Amino acid sequence: MNVNYPKQMLALGLSLWIGGSATVMAQQVTGVQVSVEQPSAAYPLPTGERWLEHASQGLAPYWMMDTAKGAPIGNFPTFRCDDGSLPDVKQPCRELDQGWIRSNFDRDYTRMKSRQVYAYGVLYHMTGDPEALKLAKAGVDYLLSELRDREHGGMISFRQDGKAGLKWQQRTSQDQAYAIVGLAFYYYLTRDPDVEKALIEQQAFIFDKYRDKATNQLLWVIEDGDEQYRTQQELVAQLDQINAYLLLVTPLLPEPYQKKWRDDLTWLTREMVQQFHSKDEQRFFGAIHHPAVKMPDARHNDYGHTIKAYWMTYLVGRYLNQPDWAKLGKEGMNITLERAAYGIQNDQAKSLLSEGLYSQWKDLQEIPTWRSGKYSWYISSWQWAELDQAAYTLNMLKPGTKNKQLYYTLNQYFDVWVDHQYGGVGMNPKSTKQFQWGNGYHQFEHALVGYLGSQAAYNKEARLYYALPFDYNGKLQPYYFYGERTKIEEGKQLEGFGGLHKVAVNYQNIRP
């Protein structure tokens, strides 16, 4: 998705929960003395409590409305207005009354239902709210029962007039990935065997049908259709397999599936780096099938896609013990964050910032913020989130290094992107929150990474909730990161979840 916004639509600010100090503390971790530098008093990160408040009070209200739950529950709608109401397609609300959105009103997208499952999963993971987990399960059940293509394999991309849209060969590999992003997170929370089976089948389908010997990459589509072409060589055809399910699920799978997924992840990351990364320009190309699609202002050549590719390259390199990939990812994140950072003039920011926040920054000539590309000062919330997440990751690697930029961008995100009346985050500040490419996925990942990153920065334990079989003793991890488990509390059995129990796990020494 590539949308430009007028400069006045840039998101800025919220009062941060001020805390922390410039002290350096010693922490005893598994017998090793390590030094942990807390966020500076001048540029404090939000506390973990602030992130939990953001998830439960800033984001959740929009996604816990009855209109978000679907009919039947789990059949989540693709489109909703900013106030949470379902749109009248003949007289749509202003935020959805845009040609490129309105033209898709007759489509009901699988990827958006799956992304919403992810959002509910994160809400449960952070807060332990069983209602969020029930909604995640309802979405999972609907995906598995209604949206799998049982004749050809894979998942339906969208339904149109109640029927599957497109021939199966015309569905993009990106849609096939995002159709299971919610399943992946639900499996991470529960280890549900039916979901495990579905994930294994879908991964096998993608890597069997879309892997192209001629280009040694995953195809965008197998057959031309819906203005998509087999000749397209797209970064997100590779990248979104990694971030949607491969990196999170692979360490959790039993053998022999874990080995197969590791091998496929290794191949895919190697080809993504070799074919799509430019050493000379120090960025990832959004596509490579024509010189024009490699230009900095072409589709998917923004800092959001590049930072996500570097983030995944770093995390995969660390997981697979590939130091060259980890180094490339770390260096690339640093370079991209430096390029994406810029200052907005004080007088421009005044009309965007809340009065309370502007009063704190009124003496600054420029206020640090993010931009989306080399020739673009416009940005969407998902790009902002990806940049923040990479900055948090680097901050965990070397505490204090990105505090200043994050102090400003997180203040801005909380205040202007978040809709304080109805909840949620939109493509535009406080607006355009649910449509065929936007819903809860990026905003909830941002909240989860922010919570883990802040707990690490303040040398505090992070508490996360799972729903696991009684006496489960398998692998547990805090999302994409590592941490030592200090406490596990097994709660009561969750009604309607086949014997799963609510489990709270405390992690310390969280690190990427």
Report the domain count for the chain.
1
pLDDT-based confidence at 471, cuts 50/70/90? confident
* Residue 410 is assigned to a structural domain of this protein: yes
Give pLDDT tens digits for 1-37: 444 333 333 433 332 222 222 222 222 223 333 334 4
* Residue 356 is assigned to a structural domain of this protein: yes
Q: What is the CATH number of the domain that holds 279?
A: 1.50.10.10
Token duo for residue 25? 């503390």
**Closest among 59, 18, 8, 32 to 418, alpha carbons compared:** 59
* Residue 137 is assigned to a structural domain of this protein: yes
> In this structure, are residues 436 and 109 in contact, taking their beta carbons and an 8 Å threshold?
yes
The pLDDT value recorded for residue 403 is: 85
* Residue 144 is assigned to a structural domain of this protein: yes
Give pLDDT tens digits for 108-130: 999 999 999 999 999 999 999 99
The pLDDT value recorded for residue 41 is: 78
The pLDDT value recorded for residue 401 is: 76
* Residue 2 is assigned to a structural domain of this protein: no
Give pLDDT tens digits for 214-257: 999 999 999 999 999 999 999 999 999 999 999 999 999 999 99
Using DSSP, state whether 283 is helix, strand or coil.
strand
**Closest among 14, 39, 33, 68 to 455, alpha carbons compared:** 39
Beta bridge partners of 217: 212
Average pLDDT of span 60-74: 98
CA distance 340 to 311: 15
The pLDDT value recorded for residue 406 is: 96
Token duo for residue 317? 């390199």
Average pLDDT of span 167-179: 98
Give pLDDT tens digits for 341-381: 999 998 888 888 999 999 999 999 999 999 999 998 889 99
The pLDDT value recorded for residue 349 is: 87
User: For residue 344, what are the domain limits?
Assistant: 7-511
Average pLDDT of span 61-70: 98
pLDDT score of 176 more than 90: yes
Distance of CA 436 to the CA centre of its chain: 16
% of the chain at pLDDT higher than 90: 87
Question: pTM, whole model, 2 decimals?
Answer: 0.92
The pLDDT value recorded for residue 249 is: 98
- Greater model confidence, 42 or 263: 263
Give pLDDT tens digits for 199-218: 999 999 999 999 999 999 99
CA distance 4 to 427: 10
CA distance 147 to 132: 21
% of the chain at pLDDT higher than 70: 93
The pLDDT value recorded for residue 377 is: 83
Give pLDDT tens digits for 372-431: 999 988 899 999 999 999 999 999 998 877 789 999 999 999 999 999 999 999 999 999
Distance of CA 504 to the CA centre of its chain: 23
* Residue 1 is assigned to a structural domain of this protein: no
Token duo for residue 507? 């992690």
Q: What is the 3-state secondary structure (H, E, C) of 47-71?
A: CHHHHHHHHHHHHHHHHCCHHHHCC
**Closest among 462, 468, 501 to 481, alpha carbons compared:** 462
The pLDDT value recorded for residue 38 is: 67
Average pLDDT of span 431-442: 97
- Greater model confidence, 19 or 47: 47
CA distance 41 to 38: 9
* Residue 242 is assigned to a structural domain of this protein: yes
> In this structure, are residues 392 and 32 in contact, taking their beta carbons and an 8 Å threshold?
no
Mean pLDDT score of the chain: 92
Q: Which residue has the tokens 């159709």?
A: 179
